[in-house]
Amino acid sequence: MASKTQPAFDYLVGDDSFLDPLRTDAHEPDKARCVVIPFGLEQSVSYGGGTAAGPQAIIDASHQLELFDEEFWAEPYGRYGIAALRAQPVAPKVADALDQLEGTVESVLAAGRFPFVLGGEHSLTAGAIRPFARRYNDLVVLQFDAHADLRDGYLGEHFSHASAMRRVLDNTNVSLVSVGIRAVSSEEIAFYESNRDRIAIHWSKDQAHWDIEEIVGPLRGRPVYVTFDIDGLDSAIMPATGTPTPGGIPYLTALAILRRASEVSTIVGADLVEFAPIAGLHAFDYTAAHLAYKMMNYALAGSISRTDS
Ligand SMILES: [Mn+2]
């Protein structure tokens, strides 16, 4: 038997990886707890396209991030480590692509690590969630989104991006907390009203009255998967997405909810989806990369320092 084992994962290395390539853990990807999975699925897009280019734009912009996070008063990545996998060609049929992503997420989870999927369109969450639904019988999905994504198929596609949460809820042990919703159909409302025991929606129209403790209440003490559709953010700060929608979540509000969620629950995995870069407008690439790093820090860096106050 060969003494040298093959590495289990095909990593991006050096300048190609996520975050500053000069950081201290950049060359030990096998030791990193967070594994970034780029998955540029773009098959069922119904309006603006471009999500296939999302993962690479986010990774490129991540090289410009400050490593220091003033909420943690530290460079939080050092507490957990970040590696990124090389993007693989995405299977052309959505159902096959979801099986493909399920396999990758399963292997990352089986290695005791934290999968962080960079999309790609929101349909991918239906595949990414399966290994979590198998492991945790009380899993909660925390969704940031403009759309409920509760349609039972859309434009002939069972696994449409507009059905992402409906397909997630096909796993009958999974419940859903949705934040920022402001674009929904009558069909989805009917499904929501008959599944109120599994779905909590925090409408964007009510955000002046949002109570973060109420939002995170169903997450308390449970395993949580965060799916962040970047169109949940207000379209003024994030127009780089297929269906930019006004009246959305302010950036710092999203961070406050993520932070509190991480304090009351155990975040076990995450995705950031529907980012569609606009050539020449790098601010949005940077915002998406910043959000990704913050999500990792809340999920994986442990307690937030108070020494900055
Ligand atoms: Mn959406």
Instruction: State the pLDDT confidence band at 186, using cuts at 50, 70 and 90.
Output: very high
Tens digit of each residue's pLDDT (9 = 90 or more) over 120-134: 999 999 999 999 999
Helix, strand or coil, per DSSP, at residue 264: helix
- The CATH number of whichever domain residue 209 belongs to comes to 3.40.800.10
What is the model's pLDDT at position 53? 96
Residues 6+ apart with CB under 8 A from 231: 145, 146, 147, 238, 241, 242, 243, 244, 245, 248, 274
Instruction: State the pLDDT confidence band at 23, using cuts at 50, 70 and 90.
Output: confident
C-alpha of residue 303 to centroid of ligand 1, in Å: 30
C-alpha of residue 86 to centroid of ligand 1, in Å: 26
Confirm whether 3 is domain-assigned: no
Above 90 in pLDDT, residue 199?
yes
The values of phi and psi at residue 73, to 5°, are 55, 45
Average per-residue pLDDT for the chain? 93
Instruction: State the pLDDT confidence band at 309, using cuts at 50, 70 and 90.
Output: very low
Tens digit of each residue's pLDDT (9 = 90 or more) over 99-128: 999 999 999 999 999 999 999 999 999 999
C-alpha of residue 145 to centroid of ligand 1, in Å: 5
- The parent domain of residue 233 ranges over 14-300
Above 60 in pLDDT, residue 154?
yes
Structure tokens at 158: 């069972």
Q: Using a pLDDT cut of 70, give the percent of the chain over it.
A: 94
Above 60 in pLDDT, residue 189?
yes
Instruction: State the pLDDT confidence band at 187, using cuts at 50, 70 and 90.
Output: very high
C-alpha of residue 14 to centroid of ligand 1, in Å: 33
Above 60 in pLDDT, residue 3?
no
C-alpha of residue 16 to centroid of ligand 1, in Å: 28
Residues 6+ apart with CB under 8 A from 117: 37, 39, 101, 105, 124, 125, 128, 269, 270, 271, 272, 273
Confirm whether 9 is domain-assigned: no
Confirm whether 8 is domain-assigned: no
**Looking at the 3D structure of the chain, how many domains does it have?**
1
Ion ligand 1: protein residues whose beta carbon lies under 5 Å:
145-147, 229, 231
C-alpha of residue 243 to centroid of ligand 1, in Å: 7
- In this structure, the number of other CB atoms found within 10 A of the CB of residue 113 comes to 21
Tens digit of each residue's pLDDT (9 = 90 or more) over 33-78: 999 999 999 987 677 789 999 999 999 999 999 999 999 999 999 9
Confirm whether 90 is domain-assigned: yes
C-alpha of residue 245 to centroid of ligand 1, in Å: 9
Confirm whether 170 is domain-assigned: yes
Residues 7-29 have a mean pLDDT of 82
The strand pairing partners of 183, in sequence order, are: 147
Confirm whether 105 is domain-assigned: yes
- In this structure, the number of other CB atoms found within 10 A of the CB of residue 186 comes to 7
Confirm whether 1 is domain-assigned: no
CA 282, CA 270: separation in Å to the nearest integer?
A: 24
Above 60 in pLDDT, residue 15?
yes
C-alpha of residue 146 to centroid of ligand 1, in Å: 5
pTM above 0.85, yes or no: yes
The values of phi and psi at residue 197, to 5°, are -75, -15
What is the model's pLDDT at position 1? 41
Above 70 in pLDDT, residue 264?
yes
Confirm whether 307 is domain-assigned: no
CB 287 within 8 A of CB 238: yes
What is the model's pLDDT at position 302? 86
